[in-house]
Structure 1
Amino acid sequence: MSSTSAPPTDGWDASTRIGVVVPHADVGPEAELQAMAPASVSVHGSRIHFAAMRAGGEMDEKIPHDPVRAFVEPPFLDQAVELVAASPLHALTLGFTSSSYVLKAQGEQALYQRLAPFTRGLPITGTTRAARAAFHALGAHRIAIVNPPWFDDTLSGQGADYFREFGFDVVHHGPCGLPSNQKAITPDNLSAWIRTTVAPHRPDAVLVAGNGIRAVGTIRPLEEELGFHVITANQVILWHALHLADAAHLAADITDYGHLFTATPKDGHA
């Protein structure tokens, strides 16, 4: 089965159905998830207005921190999760990275606990939770984090602190030096940044954070060239959601998007 096969016509007859909650104008998560997913997996979204995103889906040059926190505060996120969970799904994901950076480990745990009554018992994950599971599954301890250019240095530092709370050695982090425009980030210029700026730090794995970055096209070429694992925000939530949905066998069908899809979450990190 090819990972690029067309999905079922409306998605509801797919054998595995994943819901994703994203900012209102961010098409990146749904587009990348469906591009990677086998034909038997469908993706269904719910959207929340995000004040840092301008009309037309463009991000601010540097996103303000208050909306990042407000995105995960009740009642809007709770309502969005409840709405998408009312559909016949198998797992839920949050397609948003920076809020976990701001919440830190304890705040993120409290967030998932708060959302539990709205999930209809469905398993739920998000970018940072899935990334942690991915690092453990890949045996990666020395990690690098490539953040979107619309994250400022403070937000990037909070992301590094988040992963350090879980015992990872963050050998490099920072906003990538590319235009702060979702449409201007390409596999070529993103790969060049990782090759020249990140690779010299010799991480076990690099996370391209930020679900708004279209990054999955960099994964396989960079892994083959650089010899370390490359994971991205949308790749990890698909991988983790498939395992949480008891559809690990479908992850094995995804052959073009990195070593992660051959890995299994470790006990206690699923």
Structure 2
Amino acid sequence: MDSTPPFSTTRIEGQFEPDQGPGKHRIGLIVLSNDYVTERDFVNLRPSDDVTIFASRIRNTQSCSIETLPQMAPHISDAAALLVPEGRLDVVAYACTSGTIAMGYDTVCERIHAVRPGAKVVTPITASLAALDGLGAHKLAVLTPYTDDVNQIIAHHLTAHHKEICAFTSFHIDDNEVMAALPPDAIYQAALEADRLEAEALFISCTAIRAVDVVEQIENAIGKPVVTANQAMIWQALRLAGCAAPIAGYGRLLHHATPW
């Protein structure tokens, strides 16, 4: 005979009204499977606990090339669908600069809106162009980690959007693991070499590198605005989510409390 006493619990009888859950401003983030940096940057640069980041991963190859980048397109909807499926999102950010260009911004939007029709879409390149426009920067010095097949599509995209490239400097890396392992000090030194007197701003492409760590130091050294992929993506995502709080220590772009 089973002598185990019957299981029972005490039911809470008091009434409660559900709130909206965590995060007044909610940002969904699609991060490449081998990206070590972007999710960290988004969390570190949140201006307050009112901003909540929900991240999902998308399959990506180790090599970064114009052949491999478009291979992510079929997986974007699946990654977006994993972002708190029943919850509200203000913005979905797709965290690949070169991938957005290789696939096309419209393709990225279409794949995200297939499962998140109400969310605003942010990408690193569209955010960077908006940031550069807001800063009044037309003539650019450009720094990337990419090999020249990818550099070429970056340059073409910038010039197609009415930017003049004064100089284009690159680490010539095609391995995403190596990109993530670039020390911030190496990025800082490369940025000083990449700058040109006639450039109105320095643009540092790629979400996989730790450029955000040294953006303020670079600006102080060269005396002009610096826009990085993650910094710009965070800036635009926050503003589209309704949060325009200034963030100190990460370049003059984030010092602005209001959107342009």
Alignment correspondent of 1:220: 216
Alignment correspondent of 2:252: 259
Alignment correspondent of 1:161: 156
Alignment correspondent of 1:46: 56
Task: Tell me the amino acid that sits aligned with residue 89 of structure 1.
Answer: L
The DSSP-based 3-state class of the residue aligned with 1:71 is helix
For 1:111 and 1:179, locate their aligned partners in 2 and report how far apart those are by CA, in whole Å.
Answer: 22
Q: Structure 1 stretches of 5 or more lacking a match?
A: 1-11, 54-59
After TM superposition, the structure 1 stretch with the greater mean CA deviation from structure 2, 138-147 or 255-264, is 255-264
Alignment correspondent of 2:72: 71
- Structure 1 pair 123/238, CA: closer, same or farther in 2 (3 Å)? same
Cα drift, residue 179 of structure 1: 10
What do the CA deviations read for 1:179-231 (whole angstroms, capped 9, x no partner)?
A: 961353122111111112x1235321112111110111211111112111111
Q: 1:173 aligns with which of 147, 168, 171?
A: 168
The DSSP-based 3-state class of the residue aligned with 1:77 is helix
**What percentage of residue pairs aligned between the two structures are identical?**
25
The DSSP-based 3-state class of the residue aligned with 1:66 is coil
Q: TM-score, normalization: structure 1?
A: 0.80
What do the CA deviations read for 1:82-106 (whole angstroms, capped 9, x no partner)?
A: 3226233221101111113324xxx
Any conservation in 2 of the 1:28–1:211 contact (CA below 8 Å)?
yes
What do the CA deviations read for 1:101-143 (whole angstroms, capped 9, x no partner)?
A: 324xxx3234324532322301111000100110111111011
Alignment of 1:1-270 (within 5 A): 13-40=22-49, 41-51=51-61, 53=62, 60=63, 63-72=64-73, 74=74, 76-84=75-83, 86=85, 87-103=87-103, 107-148=104-145, 151-176=146-171, 181-196=178-193, 198-200=194-196, 202-248=198-244, 250=245, 252=246, 254-263=247-256, 264-266=258-260
Any conservation in 1 of the 2:147–2:172 contact (CA below 8 Å)?
no
For 1:178 and 1:114, locate their aligned partners in 2 and report how far apart those are by CA, in whole Å.
Answer: 28
- Structure 1 pair 119/223, CA: closer, same or farther in 2 (3 Å)? same
- Structure 1 pair 178/111, CA: closer, same or farther in 2 (3 Å)? closer
After TM superposition, the structure 1 stretch with the greater mean CA deviation from structure 2, 35-44 or 126-135, is 35-44
After TM superposition, the structure 1 stretch with the greater mean CA deviation from structure 2, 17-26 or 201-210, is 201-210
Alignment correspondent of 1:9: none
Q: TM-score, normalization: structure 2?
A: 0.83
The DSSP-based 3-state class of the residue aligned with 2:118 is coil
What do the CA deviations read for 1:224-243 (whole angstroms, capped 9, x no partner)?
A: 12111111111111100011
For 2:237 and 2:174, locate their aligned partners in 1 and report how far apart those are by CA, in whole Å.
Answer: 31
- Structure 1 pair 170/69, CA: closer, same or farther in 2 (3 Å)? same
The DSSP-based 3-state class of the residue aligned with 1:65 is coil
Flag the structure with higher helix content.
Answer: 1
For 1:42 and 1:206, locate their aligned partners in 2 and report how far apart those are by CA, in whole Å.
Answer: 29
Q: Structure 2 stretches of 5 or more lacking a match?
A: 1-20
For 1:201 and 1:158, locate their aligned partners in 2 and report how far apart those are by CA, in whole Å.
Answer: 24
**Aligned pairs, how many?**
235
The DSSP-based 3-state class of the residue aligned with 1:136 is helix
